[in-house]
Amino acid sequence: MKTALDPSRDSPSVAAPARRRGADRTGAGGAPRERVSARERLLAAADELFYEGGIHTVGIDRVIERAGVAKASLYDTFGSKDALIRAYLEARHDARKARLTAWLERYKTPRERLLGVFDAMADLMKGKNFRGCAFTRAGSEAPPTSGVRGACEQARHWMRELFAGIGRDAGLDGARADALAVQLCMLYDGASVMGQIEGNAKPASAAKEAAAVLFDQALKPATAPSRHERDAVRKQRPRAA
């Protein structure tokens, strides 16, 4: 059974009961089983189809067919396709937060936690269903002012704060921790795209090595410029007329 910690997904799968009408009516020995709601069925179907095919390529009719619900259920529950997409992204965001938080509990130092983020990414990339970052892909398809873009930005903000928090825990001040977080997010996003294209976990390993270099460099104390560097700067200054 897949859970939020399943290495092949960012979010827990409830797709199995969503694929068959009535599959949720009885359990082992014919005992009644809790019924899966239309909302859960629709989110499970959206999670599979939007992540695999894209939020614009996949139409509402495919989601409804996969969920096994009436069309009215979608509009009664979410109101629109955009609202369903936002709910799908929010569910993925919650699942990623839970997964990374649990994953990083095994590490003690800030440096270990930072590199652990990329180990978690490598673990995801090994899954056969990996299609890159759901938020990067959805954000690239959505108009800048849409609620979908807002849901993607919320997820990206959380990742930046995760990296910045690790930097602060390591002793960096706010500005330096924020600057490091931006660099690490670029690594994370780039590795995710490359992992989708190449179909293996090597980009996550390469990004982990680069993250270690950035982290170690950020922690080095600032050094005074050498005499040669000071002379070079003076030579570049314009002379007074």
Query: Which residues are CB-contacts of 50 (< 8 A; sequence separation ≥ 6)?
Result: 58, 63, 85, 88, 134, 138
Confidence of residue 96 (pLDDT cuts 50, 70, 90): very high
Please indicate whether residue 14 or residue 150 has the higher confidence score (pLDDT): 150
Contacts of 154-162 spanning 24+ positions with Cβ under 8 A: 154/90, 154/93, 155/89, 155/92, 155/93, 155/96, 156/185, 158/93, 158/97, 159/185, 159/188, 160/185, 162/100, 162/117
Give the per-residue pLDDT at 146: 82
As assigned by CATH, the class of the 15-219 domain is mainly alpha
Lowest mean pLDDT among 5-9, 25-29, 126-130: 5-9
Q: What tokens appear for 130 in the block?
A: 């990996």
Judge whether 55 and 142 are in contact, CB under 8 Å.
yes
Residue 131, pLDDT > 60, answer yes
Residue with tokens 């982290």: 215
Confidence of residue 20 (pLDDT cuts 50, 70, 90): very low
Residue 4, pLDDT > 70, answer no
Give the per-residue pLDDT at 35: 77
DSSP letter for each residue of 38-54: HHHHHHHHHHHHHHHH-
Give the per-residue pLDDT at 100: 96
Instruction: List the domain boundaries for the chain.
Output: 15-219
Torsion angles phi and psi, residue 213, rounded to 5: -65, -45
Q: Which value, in Å, is the radius of gyration of the alpha carbons in the chain?
A: 23
Residue 60, pLDDT > 50, answer yes
Spatial distance between the Cα atoms of 187 and 157, rounded to a whole number of angstroms? 15
Lowest mean pLDDT among 25-29, 87-91, 147-151: 25-29
